[in-house]
Structure 1
């Protein structure tokens, strides 16, 4: 069985770098119409319709939603993937930083999920809403209060959405990546060797993208309200994380 997204309209946030960009490109290759949201639009837009949008601005998000409903009007898959690192403890985080993280990774996903659900119900589409969390929701790194908090919120949000939307045939899933290298095409060999996963290497964006493609496809018919971990066994590994990860450099 081959994964196909032909004929589907997919909206992906955080689609201009890392896992989001890799996912957007793969979805386009699999036949989807892909609308990618990000703060910086790539110069090469082949196969993906990129929209520049600051998801920390509630006014901008609401404006985008009205425009999307008016100009596109259909959605089969929403992937709330946008994320930024935030390395503060409870002792030094500012209210500005806390507000920024909540707007980006809680408020915006809720608003976009509401839009997606409304359009899916209106068009009788049994669609997919997928929220990309992180294993830090379960196992926080030091000085990652806001990041771990919002990633945990995405899990609870997905479960609540699944309860509300299941009667419409809409599936809601949370994906929790572990240590995935997104700083370049090639993972430094030394970092790969020291990765604290059971597989003794860092994850690659394309590995997460392939999982998201399956979950977004018609092959996925009975998963909802669930968390799917893709971390190479990091959560049950007793190996220590490399300094580059604990310090937030990668």
Structure 2
């Protein structure tokens, strides 16, 4: 059954591919992007590929006017996909940077979701909220805790929200991508070098590079994003399915093993 879907963070990466994929499947898609250049680029792509059921508008989650305008649009599926990543040692990361990561990935996202859900309840719309979380919403490797903490918070919000909205017929689901090679993880790691200083921090830049390379610089941490896009296109419109969706299976197995290891961890 065709649905009307608003997806945030569609200016690049998984969001862009998913917006295009959903529209090609016959759904009406409102793709939102953070900046006007991204909006123009996606509009041009939709026109070039002949996708009339894909509209594109600007949505910067930190712009109150963008949020207010987006919340008034008519759709029955909200895909909260936009987010930013900050990395670095959590024992040293500047607090303003950590706060900004939470502002975008948690507070602004929740602001939009609350506005949409409030309207759905009032109008008796049996909608669906899909949160793009991450494998880092269930595990927290060293040097990635800032981003991981925002996704852990998002998991908690989604779990509680699912319980709270059942009586109104509104569904809630999370999609937890593994390490797909969109460039997001690499940019997140690189961002720490703008503040990490060997004259100030006890974590050296060399140590940080060695630890992040050990985590990310391997083929299994650079998966083909087209596989994840296909999975998101499959999951988002459905009215049945798992609440949490960690993909691919190897990543889900890693998460389960990591969770067990935490129970057995000692100090």
- Secondary structure of the residue aligned to 2:18 is helix
* 1:49 and 2:83 correspond: no
Cα displacement string for residues 7-48 of structure 1 (whole angstroms, at most 9, x for unaligned residues): x22111111111000011011112222222222324241243
Match of 2:231 among 186, 195, 211: 211
- Checking the alignment, whether the CA contact within 8 Å between 1:75 and 1:120 is kept in structure 2 is no
Cα displacement string for residues 148-178 of structure 1 (whole angstroms, at most 9, x for unaligned residues): 1001111101011111111111110111111
CA shift, 1:194, in A, is 4.3
Which structure 2 residue ranges, 5 or more long, are not aligned? Answer: 185-216, 256-267
Distance, in Å, in 2 between the alignment partners of 1:84 and 1:203 is 19
Match of 1:68 among 50, 67, 70: 70
Higher helix share: 2
TM-score (norm 2): 0.71
* 1:195 and 2:190 correspond: no
Give matches, 1:75-94, under 5 Å. 75-94=75-94
Cα displacement string for residues 55-100 of structure 1 (whole angstroms, at most 9, x for unaligned residues): 2x2xx1x322332344x3x221111111222112222211221121
Change (3 A) 1:114 1:141: same
Change (3 A) 1:147 1:183: closer
Change (3 A) 1:94 1:112: same
Which structure 1 residue ranges, 5 or more long, are not aligned? Answer: 185-192, 239-250
RMSD over aligned Cα, in angstroms? 2.6
- Checking the alignment, whether the CA contact within 8 Å between 1:75 and 1:119 is kept in structure 2 is no
CA shift, 1:222, in A, is 5.7
Cα displacement string for residues 202-229 of structure 1 (whole angstroms, at most 9, x for unaligned residues): 4333332333333332x43365xx2111
- Checking the alignment, whether the CA contact within 8 Å between 1:214 and 1:220 is kept in structure 2 is no
* 1:220 and 2:239 correspond: yes
Distance, in Å, in 2 between the alignment partners of 1:167 and 1:75 is 20
Q: Which has the larger radius of gyration?
A: 2
Change (3 A) 1:133 1:118: same
TM-score (norm 1): 0.75
CA shift, 1:237, in A, is 4.7
- Checking the alignment, whether the CA contact within 8 Å between 1:11 and 1:75 is kept in structure 2 is yes
